[in-house]
Amino acid sequence: MNANWQDLKREFQQRRENAVSERDKRKTEVYNKAPEIRELDRQISTLGITFSREALNQGTTEEQLQSFEQKLDELIDYKKKLLVQHGFTENYLELDYHCKKCNDTGFVLDDEGKPGIVPCHCYRQLMVERFYDVSNLNSDGKTGFEFFNEHYYPDTAEGHEESPRAQALRIRQKCLDFVNFFKDTSHPNLYFSGPTGVGKTFLSKCIALEVLKKGHTVLYLPAPAMFDIIYRSKYPADKTENRDTAYEDILNADLLIIDDLGTESPSAAKYTELLTLLDYRSAKNTRLPCKTIISTNLDPQDLHKVYSERIVSRILGEFDILVIYGDDIRLIKRFE
């Protein structure tokens, strides 16, 4: 928990440098294949400098400035055509920033294209990831809806109303709906229930990656770790430590994923914190997206054995209950 602005500033600086480096590599590739584009870039640069000088010259008329601007636009359009003719996209030589909203500065660009004072979503997300060390949402490189494999689920019902495969496909669509309607404050939260290895955490992370792409902050935490963070934030060993930052991030993340709920050590204090957390996020979700996903081995009907009636009421009333069943996919992959 040692994230600070200087660390993040270095990260954004590195991202911008990477964007320039990659652009320069593409430029070398283009110049080798189409030398005329190098000359065209030189002309565009020279004309751009001249245009800037003339714009500052009080004696320059509006017609002259428009003439400069027209010539510049013509050269740029011709360059785009040449790029396409040589098999490149027309924007192949533009800087490709990691985040287009802030150009990897960490702050949303203003009307003039300059970084303002409003933190970008990527800044908030990077701070969350650094602060909680949860940047492993896609650590195996095989997380995402494109990796969902329905064939890991049996196609026979065997006592259920529908087969595990049909159930999994229906739940996958529920997950996609959750992503598509994420900004809809009336859309319910998700509660994944089922035995170990049936894909609860996988689907949670699939949703997280898609929500991240939409520019929202995501915080993924195992339940024991979440309760420990809350406790340390509210009751720090060092009384001078900031007590609110960590807890506020858990409260206010656009999407909070609580994994393995029920594996935390039981205590009345923790259950009170959970109720407070659910109530706060529910109230905020009436104004802004503040969604919660819970993943657990607990069946919905067993919730009352562990948690208070008020917690059970919040979950059953505000979460879409998705029960997944089938074989342990981890074992299936291992034997494959």
Q: How do beta strands 107-109 and 115-119 pair?
A: antiparallel
Given 116, 146, 163, the domain boundary residue is: 116
Report the chain's mean pLDDT, rounded to a whole number: 86
Reported as a pLDDT band with limits 50, 70 and 90, residue 320 is very high
Q: Give how many domains the chain has, as a whole number.
A: 2
Which CATH number covers residue 302?
Answer: 3.40.50.300
DSSP bridge partners of 257: 220, 293
Specify whether 261 is located in the same domain as 161. yes
Q: Residue 122 falls within a domain, yes or no?
A: no
DSSP bridge partners of 291: 255
Specify whether 192 is located in the same domain as 322. yes
Specify whether 237 is located in the same domain as 104. no
Position 82 scores a pLDDT of: 93
Token pair of 210 as six digits = 């898609």
Read off the pLDDT of residues 3-29 as tens digits, 9 standing for 90 and up: 456 777 888 999 999 999 999 999 999
Q: Is the pLDDT of residue 52 over 80?
A: no
- Higher pLDDT residue, 244 or 124? 124
Specify whether 164 is located in the same domain as 270. yes
Specify whether 96 is located in the same domain as 169. no
Specify whether 16 is located in the same domain as 158. no
Read off the pLDDT of residues 65-106 as tens digits, 9 standing for 90 and up: 788 788 888 989 999 999 999 999 999 999 999 888 899 998
Position 85 scores a pLDDT of: 93
Specify whether 93 is located in the same domain as 161. no
Q: Is 260 helix (H, G, I), strand (E, B) or coil?
A: coil
CB 127 within 8 A of CB 8: yes
Q: Residue 312 falls within a domain, yes or no?
A: yes
Q: Residue 121 falls within a domain, yes or no?
A: no
Q: Is the pLDDT of residue 240 over 60?
A: no
Task: Using alpha carbons, select from 335, 322, 310 the residue that is nearest to residue 152.
Answer: 335
Specify whether 310 is located in the same domain as 176. yes
- Higher pLDDT residue, 115 or 17? 17
CB 326 within 8 A of CB 152: yes
Token pair of 3 as six digits = 């994230």
Task: Using alpha carbons, select from 79, 80, 83 the residue that is nearest to residue 43.
Answer: 79
Reported as a pLDDT band with limits 50, 70 and 90, residue 116 is confident
Q: Residue 214 falls within a domain, yes or no?
A: yes
Specify whether 76 is located in the same domain as 195. no
Q: Residue 129 falls within a domain, yes or no?
A: no
Given 51, 81, 116, the domain boundary residue is: 116
Position 244 scores a pLDDT of: 52
Position 282 scores a pLDDT of: 95
Specify whether 149 is located in the same domain as 178. yes
In angstroms, rounded to a whole number, what is the distance separating the alpha carbons of residues 225 and 310?
23
- CA-to-CA separations, 15 to 99, 107, 132, 229, in angstroms, rounded: 9, 14, 21, 30
Specify whether 94 is located in the same domain as 141. no
- Average pLDDT (252-256) is 91
Task: Using alpha carbons, select from 328, 326, 300 the residue that is nearest to residue 160.
Answer: 326
In angstroms, rounded to a whole number, what is the distance separating the alpha carbons of residues 131 and 7?
11
10 Å Cβ neighbour count for 313?
15
Task: Give Cβ neighbours of residue 74 (< 8 Å, ≥ 6 apart).
Answer: none
In angstroms, rounded to a whole number, what is the distance separating the alpha carbons of residues 64 and 129?
51
Q: Which residues of 164-186 are buried (b: 16+ CB within 10 A; e: fewer)?
A: bbebbeebbebbeebbeebeeee
Q: Residue 202 falls within a domain, yes or no?
A: yes
Q: Scanning the structure block, which residue is given the tokens 């003439």?
A: 67
Given 116, 148, 163, the domain boundary residue is: 116
- The sign one gets for the Cα dihedral 70, 73, 75, 78 is negative
Q: Is the pLDDT of residue 47 over 50?
A: yes
- Higher pLDDT residue, 143 or 286? 286
Position 3 scores a pLDDT of: 46
Position 2 scores a pLDDT of: 42
Position 135 scores a pLDDT of: 44
Token pair of 165 as six digits = 């495969």
Q: Residue 127 falls within a domain, yes or no?
A: no
Q: Is 252 helix (H, G, I), strand (E, B) or coil?
A: helix
Task: Using alpha carbons, select from 173, 123, 84 the residue that is nearest to residue 4.
Answer: 123
In terms of residue numbers, what domain contains 65? 5-116
Q: Residue 178 falls within a domain, yes or no?
A: yes
Q: Is the pLDDT of residue 270 over 60?
A: yes
Across 54-58, 186-190, 315-319, least confident range:
54-58
Specify whether 159 is located in the same domain as 293. yes
